[in-house]
Amino acid sequence: MKTDEFLRQVTALPGVTGNERAAAEFIAEAFRPFVDEVKITALNSVIAHKKGNGPKVLICAHLDEIGMMVSKIEKDGTLRMQSVGGVDPRVLPGMRVRVFARDGMLMGVVGATPPHLMREADRKNNYTFETLFVDLGLPAEEVEKKVCIGDTVCFESRYVELKNGRVSTKTVDDRGCVAIMLRAAELLQKMHHEADLYFVSTCQEEIGSYGAMTCAFDVDPDFGVAFDVCHAETPGAPRLYTSKIDSLVASKGPFLHPYLVKKLETAAKEHGVQLQTAIDPRWTSTDADELSLVRNGVPSVLMSLPIKYMHTNVETFDMHALMEGGRLLAHYLSEMDASWEEELWT
């Protein structure tokens, strides 16, 4: 499957944190042609193992997404909701959503009291979850039959190809980085590698990187390579915390091993892949943090795909940056061998 078609399909699937099974099953099937074995864990992480005789390496990107869940059914049949994983309610008014109810998926729209009907003081306030609701267009008695408290509410998916190789869709955070891992696994079919590789699509990152924690404990790797998204340059955003959208970013900081970062930068230079640098002077707020702490600690690096409009249904990225990320990862993994373990402390 071509990378763009994989992205089109995988980003459309529901996978709100804690309910990632549909996305996990699709990703597992996508990896099967390129690895020796694939398993889905009890918590819905996907572990794709490509065997080798060298150091054990865990490469991870999370498959879960932010979303909502039904918190109340009003007397008129509209639904109240709460965030799962970090949805900003200000982006929701006017959005189409999908409610995954007991008998299947229901389309809905997010509405709010029109400003014409608000008091002047209320018009000055931002939207909150308490002021928003989902309208399914159904009478209250039908909603009561179909919907339960706790049902998942997902953003509607629209995969939009913009100009200049840019793509906009939901769930680029972080299935765009799952696509980078898949591309690398495909390229490694024609490359030699000594490392014992575990491509892990982790669950529950959006609420605390629990998939990375549990999978790293299970695999017990020698090295870790974490992928996530970061903020691309956007009008009005502080330049200190953003990166150019056209290439991947390698982070430096206390959670990231300097030797592995240096080897990554060398690989990028030798293979002509553009790589930006960012700093994370404390934690990274990604799976890399958990990799660094599990068991005796896993020396790790972090690479990020810059996107615009994070945690919305129009997350926007550069396809060339994504494809080059897959190429860089393949070369980086192919160069890992037993000597890296000896040099790690020199």
Residue 202 in this model has a pLDDT that exceeds 70? yes
Residue with the bigger pLDDT between 120 and 107: it is: 107
List, in order, residues 6 or more apart from 34 with CB less than 8 Å away. 48, 50, 182, 185, 186, 188, 189
- Round to whole Å and give the CA distance between 181 and 126: 39
Query: Domains in the chain, start-ordered, CATH in brackets?
Result: 3-65+170-343 (3.40.630.10), 67-155 (2.40.30.40)
What share of the chain in percent tops pLDDT 70?
99
Q: What is the pLDDT of residues 124-168, one digit of tens each?
A: 788 899 999 999 999 999 999 999 999 999 999 899 999 999 999
130 classed as catalytic: no
Residue 346, pLDDT score: 60
Residue 244 in this model has a pLDDT that exceeds 70? yes
**pTM (2 d.p.):** 0.94
Residue 3 in this model has a pLDDT that exceeds 90? yes
Residue 58 in this model has a pLDDT that exceeds 70? yes
Mean pLDDT of 241-260: 95
Q: What is the pLDDT of residues 290-314, one digit of tens each?
A: 999 999 899 999 999 999 999 999 9
The count of C-alpha atoms lying within 13 angstroms of the C-alpha of 279, restricted to the half-sphere facing its C-beta, is 4
The count of C-alpha atoms lying within 13 angstroms of the C-alpha of 134, restricted to the half-sphere facing its C-beta, is 29
Which of 20, 65, 205, 206 is flagged as catalytic? Answer: 205
Residue 345, pLDDT score: 67
Residue with the bigger pLDDT between 205 and 121: it is: 205
Residue 123 in this model has a pLDDT that exceeds 80? no
